[in-house]
A and B are shown apart, each in its own frame.
Chain A
Amino acid sequence: MSTTYTPPVLERPMPVPTPLTRPFWDALTEHKIRIQYSPSVGEYIFYPRPLAPGTLADDLEWREISGAGSLYTYTISTRPVAPHFANEGTLVLAVVQWDEGPKFSTELINVAAEDIQVGMRLKPVYCDYPEAGITMLRYEPES
């Protein structure tokens, strides 16, 4: 018996909102950033959760933030991080720290490798994917 093998077509994974995280993604489609805040902890929280991390306080509320932040760290990935990213080319895998505190995993775009500095100021870039019903949040240098 002979077998044939057809390599699967691997698309880049897109975020799939959950009922609890939906407000974050809904805000992004409006090109706004809304994350959770715990009044009792006195801190913004990311990613979305049902209860505040650390205290498990049940007081999380959604608040809009500007999205401005600075580059906490990054790496330049020149080879595909998974077969799903085979066509993406070089990625700048970045962690942005919002001015409100939480960190956000993202990509830097519109910047040359030699111009990237940890600590540099960044602003949000809203990337719409209407077919997926998703807006992804990437970052670029502030000026």
Chain B
Amino acid sequence: MGLRGEAAILGYFELPPERKLTREKTFNLEQWARLSKAALDDAGLDASDVNGIVTPQIGEADMFVPSTITEYLGIDANFAEIVDLGGAGSAAAVWRAAAAVELGLCDAVLVTFPGTHDVPTHERRPFVMNDKMYFGASSNAYGSPQAEFEIPYGNLGQNGPYGQIAKRYGHEFGYDERAMAKIAVDQRTNACATPGAVFHGKPITIEDVLASPMVADPLHMLEIVMPCQGGAAVVIGSLELAKKSRNRPVWIKGFGERVPYKTPTYAKDLMYSPMVHAADQAFTMAGIDRKDVDMVSIYDCYSITVLMSLEDAGFAEKGKGMQFVNAHDLTFRGDFPMNTAGGQLSFGQAGIAGGMHHVIDGARQIMGRAGEAQVADCNRAFVTGNGGIMSEQTALIFQGE
């Protein structure tokens, strides 16, 4: 079962995130086109090489999203899919694209995630706040279990539920708030070596994290991503196109995915995330051990997400993640390089494109293009995606040979 490792990331493009948009406002479709072109240029490939796309939802179409995009780009796709896995969507899109290439359906697949939600408006087409904007990932539609049993009690969005997860973790395994803060601090160090990161040039200390406002006890503000505007794209291509590409190919050797619930209230055991299955499947498929990985890029919407993902992916023993964090240097120059471009906590979370930050972090390292933040001799990367509230998780293993 699994990939042969014969599809590779051949090019990527990631817009530097902005807290407040200074670039021109463009629609998601326009972003789709420009991000894709930039990734193709990076790969040294032509639009005519592309015959597949994977996309998240976009603002300009509620249905028939893939065909809306192929028409806009003028691409005849043999494979056109929309993924709806939130922050896991980017990683999920990457393995779907790799599978399409390995099946021989496609030569090259564009995986493009527009992440600038500040789009043009017109007096006749004004911005309208709707339930989706008020309640985020929580559905307030009639008949939705969340609308009936969660939202009325204030259990909605992300901060509260992630705070609940962290609180339960402390009850079961103990809680070292300095270790949790260190996750954010080490990632900030990486952001300071990454031009374009929103917090480039702004180092922080553990004391800074602990002094930041408590948002959802026990999570402080500096342990939580802030929304940004941006966008990202990767091109995934075949063995043949890899020869034509100008970059070192980043082969997609293994993946795993698990989608067991939406709301943490209903997790069978909240302390063991879907990453347990996803990572096991990915490593088994790739046929490599945890210790063979040169860097990891772990989805980091919150410090607790990182901590539990490290445990559940098998890098740290369950319940000992905080000791692991304290025992390792997680910066790009450390013994366990993690989120080497700053992660979403310090590079920035550009909406749905936030998950792509981790995909590109891994690809950038393997291609040897991480500049000051480059991990020496980086050939294997472990990348995760996380959607919902630790409820949709995907793992990827990249290899650069």
Give chain A's interface residues, CB within 8 Å of chain B: 1, 3, 8, 10, 12-18, 21, 47, 72-79, 81-85, 88, 91, 93, 95, 103-107, 118-119, 136, 138
Q: Please, how many angstroms separate the alpha-carbon atoms of A22 and B167 in the complex?
A: 33
A82–B135 contact, CB under 8 A? yes
Give the one of A17, A84, A136, A138 with max B CB within 10 A. Answer: A84
A105–B142 contact, CB under 8 A? no
The 4 closest A-B pairs by CB, nearest first: A75-B163, A118-B171, A73-B168, A73-B164
The number of inter-chain residue pairs (CB within 8 angstroms) is 103
Give 1 or 0 for each of B139-183: 1 = CB within 8 Å of chain A CB: 010110101111111111101110111111011000000000000
Q: How far is the CB of B8 from chain A (nearest CB, A)?
A: 39
B152–A73 contact, CB under 8 A? no
Q: Does more than half of chain B's interface fall in helix, strand or loop, or is it mixed?
A: helix
Total interface residues on B, CB under 8 Å, equals 41
What residue in chain B is nearest A14 (Cβ atoms)?
Answer: B152
A73–B149 contact, CB under 8 A? no
In the complex, 19 of the A-B residue pairs with CB atoms within 8 angstroms, ordered by the A residue number, are A3-B126, A13-B147, A13-B152, A18-B143, A21-B148, A47-B266, A73-B171, A74-B167, A75-B216, A75-B219, A76-B163, A83-B134, A91-B154, A93-B153, A93-B154, A105-B265, A107-B153, A118-B171, A136-B153
Q: Please, how many angstroms separate the alpha-carbon atoms of A93 and B158 in the complex?
A: 12
A77–B154 contact, CB under 8 A? yes
B156–A103 contact, CB under 8 A? no
B83 at the A interface (CB under 8 A):
no
Given the interface pairs A3-B123, A76-B217, A93-B153, the reply to whether A81 lies near B159 with Cβ below 8 Å is yes
Q: Which of chain A's residues have a CB closer than 8 A to the CB of B266?
A: 47, 103
Given the interface pairs A15-B148, A17-B148, A82-B157, the reply to whether A77 lies near B265 with Cβ below 8 Å is no
A93–B155 contact, CB under 8 A? yes
A16–B148 contact, CB under 8 A? yes
B214 at the A interface (CB under 8 A):
yes
A79–B217 contact, CB under 8 A? no
Q: How far is the CB of B32 from chain A (nearest CB, A)?
A: 30
A15–B149 contact, CB under 8 A? yes
Give 1 or 0 for each of B238-274: 1 = CB within 8 Å of chain A CB: 0000000000000000000000000111100010000
B164–A95 contact, CB under 8 A? yes
